Chains A and B, each alone.
Chain A
Amino acid sequence: MNILILMIPLSLLLGFGFLFGFIWSVRAGQLDDTDTPAYRILDERKDQQ
């Protein structure tokens, strides 16, 4: 039973950690365009912005 005191906060921390990571990525615009980056990565030139 006592293990729950550790497990519950841990599971919540994990869940909400991912949630905030996701919210950050959405806010940063990473999910605005899901098509082009897949192609952009094929460009070998390093001087891209």
Chain B
Amino acid sequence: MRLIGSKILRYAIQITAGRRPPLASLSQFAADMNANLPSPSSLVDFSFLDSPSIRKKYAVDEAETKICFYIGGIRCEKCVRKLEGLVGTIQGLRRLRVEMGKNLAHVEVDPSTLSFSDIADVIERLGFHPIPLGAGEYASENQTREDRSRLIRLAVAATCAGNIMTFAFATYLGGDAQLFSWLSFVLYLPVVTYVAWPFYQGAWAALRQKRISIDLPMAVASLAGFGLSVGALLRGSFDVYFDSLSGFLFLILVARWLQQRMQKKYLDAGELREGLRLERVRLVQGSTWSWVPVESLVPQQEISVFSNETIPADAKLLSSSAQVSLAWLTGESKAKTYLKGAHLPAGAKVISKQIALVVETPLAQTNFGSLMREVQKFSLSENRAIAESDSWAQWLLGYVFLIAGVFVALYWQVSPEEAVRRAFALIVLACPCAMAFGTPLALALSLKRANQLGLMVRDANVFEAIKKARTVFLDKTGTLTETELSLVEAPDKVPAAIQKIVLSLENLSVHPMAFAFRSAFSNQTLVAVRDHQEVAGIGVSGFIENQFYQLRASSLECAGTSCVLLQGSEPIWTFNFTSSYRVGCLSVLTSLRARGLRLILLSGDSPAAVALAAKDLGFSDVDAHSNLTPQEKASVIQSQTHTVMVGDGINDSLALQKADVGIAASGGVEAALKSAGVYLGETGVQGLELLFKLSDQAYSLIRQNLLLSVVYNVVGGTLALLGYINPFVAAVLMPISSGFILLSTWLRSRA
């Protein structure tokens, strides 16, 4: 009620201040009044954003007036208008700026009239789901500055190169060679210093680590070309390379900029939001409670956790009983019942009603806490796609420099000047573009394609690992099967009277079976139940028309799950439940097998349930493992090489990380991409097949680029050493070949 109270106050202030509150939020407000307190699942409570430590964490600036939200689903002009239109209608909202491409909203408030939680509430009410972003989770000022300086460098290169080329053209047409050569020299000065600076930096940093980077030939070309040209100028000859060199550097910068931009757009970590974020917890003090940040919890404090919330610490149960799901920890989807005094692990999700707990171990020291940390650490590690292709390019460059060196040594006797010229031509010509630009571009374009098809792929290395995959591990629950239970029998085979009884008994329950009953018998009416009782882990009971009924879990350990309806003490009906297989599951498995992949089922479920699924889906007995903990799953995977793990983004996170490719089939995109490289999302299991196809395509493209590059380098290199290609021509050929490869990659991956 505190929440609503403060809202009434706020609206009252707005109305008395003569401001018209936004219509949408007013009607929502009325709906809220009717619904009393918002239920935790339908509306997020953002009041935690107002606690001092959380505020400090999320505020962008020192004064704590600015915050940045990630808001999924900003796709149209309407959304932008809705959100930005809030400025002027909400008192205290100074600024709200939407950045559509990145799904961000930058908000600035006047903290004396509007708090972060207020504005988050308003955004939520408009139908968006704002996620506050801490520092480092969105493009920082540093990164913006870097982007800007890259653009400026590009512009300087373009201006200088453009003008130098017009001067060169004038010379060809018989202009004053001396004048234009010196003008070119002047214009080349910013190129050789400012524009080429990142190449020097990159080359030097790599050399210090005893590596040859792709920047080295650019740096050598830029400096040596400058040296040769200045030498020529001083001797009075006008044999200068300023035009081709500046054009060369400009084109390389363009290619890089395009590639980075594309990669950023499709690989941006900005979309990877942690779903496991536990921010706040209700701390019980006497008869009241208040929100406190999870980090502030200490042992012996009493906390209260509501239905559908996650237990934020290892804790002892104070309530008489609790039903919790350990799905995040074990993958077991069935709810488990604990009695008073039991120790509940952090990460367990409460299924039954609100429970009271005493903290034993704060989150940071729990298994769950360390799992979260590990997942987080992993996801922060850099995207390795570029480094990978850089290393491919290295051997080529290494050989080029070696050959150039040997050539100079051998040809020195004939003519030192000619030796240097030809070696220089070779270095300028030799193009590792296929690897350096073609490969990342091919991968980035595959990523784009994957995203269009509804697959979320985090980094481009996934395609390479997929290509190499030998063994695919699959989780059962939530991956091959749905997480919800469903009734085995057709609902119309169950007599209406029994349907009525069952539904009435289960009406208040939040057990998965109750949901299954509700969806199966959806068109039944309810009857009154007297002395209704639900005993967690056992079942429900009550009197209907003076007859005692119980619905209890079947004691038999059988493949699915079942429960039995008793009238008095006599069983009158047995219900069997199953979790159904996901759509297209079998055909995907068949096509993966046809690729010669070995498929292995890894499950935390009981042997019987796993055996049943294995039989249905064609797994042999040795390839179906049951009763595995997350750690055991991870160690099974680590015992193999070239592995792919397909599982739930949350409870399989460890296994997903340990596999060469982790593919999350469920569990929410945020959590999934923290631990997995791929999130199947809306494509479901069928996305697996797509993923394999895409990586085939990407690699045939990369092979084509490599072939082109090898032919170009061998032919061009030989001609250069034989003296048919001078450095001037080489400097023209090199960007042309890069451009050709980029173009062919782009064209082919569009098809």
The reply to whether the CB of B298 lies closer than 8 angstroms to some CB of chain A is: no
Cβ A39 vs Cβ B152 within 8 A: no
Neighbour of A43 across the interface among B80, B102, B162, B163, CB < 8 A: B80
Additional A-B contacts beyond A19-B156, A27-B148, A29-B144 (7; CB < 8 A): A11-B163, A16-B159, A22-B152, A26-B148, A35-B101, A42-B77, A47-B88
Neighbour of A36 across the interface among B87, B99, B151, CB < 8 A: B99
Cβ B148 vs Cβ A12 within 8 A: no
Neighbour of B101 across the interface among A8, A36, A45, CB < 8 A: A36
Cβ B162 vs Cβ A15 within 8 A: yes
Compute how far the CA of A29 lies from the CA of B152 in the bound complex, rounded to whole angstroms: 12
Cβ A33 vs Cβ B166 within 8 A: no
Cβ A49 vs Cβ B152 within 8 A: no
Q: In the complex, which range does the number of interface residues on chain A fall in?
A: 20 to 34
Compute how far the CA of A34 lies from the CA of B148 in the bound complex, rounded to whole angstroms: 13
The reply to whether the CB of A6 lies closer than 8 angstroms to some CB of chain B is: no
Asked, given contacts A12-B163, A22-B155, A47-B88, whether A39 binds B80 with beta carbons under 8 Å apart, the answer is yes
Compute how far the CA of A27 lies from the CA of B162 in the bound complex, rounded to whole angstroms: 23
Tally of contact residues, B, Cβ under 8 A: 28
The reply to whether the CB of B493 lies closer than 8 angstroms to some CB of chain A is: no
- Name 28 interchain pairs, CB-CB below 8 A, sorted by A: A4-B176, A4-B179, A11-B166, A12-B163, A16-B159, A19-B159, A26-B152, A26-B155, A31-B148, A32-B99, A32-B144, A32-B147, A33-B99, A33-B100, A33-B102, A34-B101, A35-B100, A35-B101, A36-B101, A39-B76, A39-B77, A39-B80, A40-B80, A40-B84, A42-B77, A42-B81, A45-B85, A48-B84
CB-nearest residue of chain A to B175: A4
Most buried by A among B85, B100, B166: B100
Cβ A36 vs Cβ B80 within 8 A: yes
Tell me the smallest distance from the CB of B426 to a CB of chain A, in Å: 33
Compute how far the CA of A39 lies from the CA of B159 in the bound complex, rounded to whole angstroms: 31
Cβ A43 vs Cβ B155 within 8 A: no
Cβ A43 vs Cβ B85 within 8 A: yes
The reply to whether the CB of B98 lies closer than 8 angstroms to some CB of chain A is: yes
Cβ B100 vs Cβ A36 within 8 A: yes
Cβ A15 vs Cβ B159 within 8 A: yes
Compute how far the CA of A31 lies from the CA of B156 in the bound complex, rounded to whole angstroms: 16
Residues of A6-20 whose CB lies within 8 A of B: 8, 11-12, 15-16, 18-19
CB-nearest residue of chain A to B81: A43
CB-nearest residue of chain B to A27: B148
CB-nearest residue of chain A to B106: A33
Residues of B within 8 A of A (CB): 76-77, 80-81, 84-85, 87-88, 95, 98-102, 144, 147-148, 151-152, 155-156, 159, 162-163, 166, 176, 179, 183
Chain A residues, Cβ within 8 Å of B163: 11-12, 15
Tell me the smallest distance from the CB of A21 to a CB of chain B, in Å: 10
Asked, given contacts A15-B159, A16-B159, A19-B155, whether A43 binds B84 with beta carbons under 8 Å apart, the answer is yes
Chain A residues, Cβ within 8 Å of B101: 33-36
Compute how far the CA of A31 lies from the CA of B176 in the bound complex, rounded to whole angstroms: 40
Tell me the smallest distance from the CB of B746 to a CB of chain A, in Å: 19
Cβ A35 vs Cβ B85 within 8 A: no
Asked, given contacts A15-B162, A43-B85, whether A31 binds B100 with beta carbons under 8 Å apart, the answer is no
Chain A residues, Cβ within 8 Å of B155: 19, 22-23, 26
CB-nearest residue of chain B to A42: B77
Tell me the smallest distance from the CB of B453 to a CB of chain A, in Å: 21
Asked, given contacts A11-B166, A12-B163, whether A39 binds B151 with beta carbons under 8 Å apart, the answer is no
Residues of A within 8 A of B (CB): 1, 4, 8, 11-12, 15-16, 18-19, 22-23, 26-27, 29, 31-36, 39-40, 42-43, 45, 47-49
Tell me the smallest distance from the CB of B559 to a CB of chain A, in Å: 52
Chain B residues, Cβ within 8 Å of A27: 148, 152
Chain B residues, Cβ within 8 Å of A47: 88
CB-nearest residue of chain B to A32: B144
Chain B residues, Cβ within 8 Å of A39: 76-77, 80-81, 100
Chain B residues, Cβ within 8 Å of A29: 144
Chain A residues, Cβ within 8 Å of B144: 29, 32
Tell me the smallest distance from the CB of B98 to a CB of chain A, in Å: 6
Most buried by B among A1, A29, A35: A35
Tell me the smallest distance from the CB of B699 to a CB of chain A, in Å: 31
Cβ B84 vs Cβ A31 within 8 A: no
Cβ A18 vs Cβ B159 within 8 A: yes
Question: What 9 A-B pairs are tightest by C-beta distance, nearest first?
Answer: A35-B101, A39-B77, A36-B100, A35-B100, A19-B159, A22-B155, A33-B99, A39-B80, A42-B77
Chain A residues, Cβ within 8 Å of B76: 39
Chain B residues, Cβ within 8 Å of A1: 176
Compute how far the CA of A15 lies from the CA of B80 in the bound complex, rounded to whole angstroms: 37
Chain A residues, Cβ within 8 Å of B152: 22-23, 26-27
Tell me the smallest distance from the CB of B93 to a CB of chain A, in Å: 11
Compute how far the CA of A22 lies from the CA of B84 in the bound complex, rounded to whole angstroms: 28
Chain A residues, Cβ within 8 Å of B99: 32-33, 35-36
Chain B residues, Cβ within 8 Å of A42: 77, 81
Compute how far the CA of A11 lies from the CA of B100 in the bound complex, rounded to whole angstroms: 38
Cβ A8 vs Cβ B183 within 8 A: yes
Chain A residues, Cβ within 8 Å of B102: 33
CB-nearest residue of chain B to A22: B155
Compute how far the CA of A48 lies from the CA of B98 in the bound complex, rounded to whole angstroms: 13
Compute how far the CA of A4 lies from the CA of B175 in the bound complex, rounded to whole angstroms: 10
Compute how far the CA of A4 lies from the CA of B151 in the bound complex, rounded to whole angstroms: 31
Compute how far the CA of A35 lies from the CA of B528 in the bound complex, rounded to whole angstroms: 58
Cβ A49 vs Cβ B100 within 8 A: no
Compute how far the CA of A5 lies from the CA of B148 in the bound complex, rounded to whole angstroms: 35
Cβ B147 vs Cβ A36 within 8 A: no
Compute how far the CA of A39 lies from the CA of B79 in the bound complex, rounded to whole angstroms: 10
Compute how far the CA of A49 lies from the CA of B162 in the bound complex, rounded to whole angstroms: 38
CB-nearest residue of chain B to A43: B81
Chain A residues, Cβ within 8 Å of B95: 49
Most buried by A among B102, B148, B183: B148
CB-nearest residue of chain B to A23: B152
Chain B residues, Cβ within 8 Å of A48: 84, 87
Chain B residues, Cβ within 8 Å of A31: 148, 151
Tell me the smallest distance from the CB of A25 to a CB of chain B, in Å: 9
Compute how far the CA of A2 lies from the CA of B19 in the bound complex, rounded to whole angstroms: 69
Tell me the smallest distance from the CB of B600 to a CB of chain A, in Å: 43
Compute how far the CA of A41 lies from the CA of B101 in the bound complex, rounded to whole angstroms: 16
CB-nearest residue of chain A to B98: A36
Tell me the smallest distance from the CB of A3 to a CB of chain B, in Å: 12
Tell me the smallest distance from the CB of A12 to a CB of chain B, in Å: 7
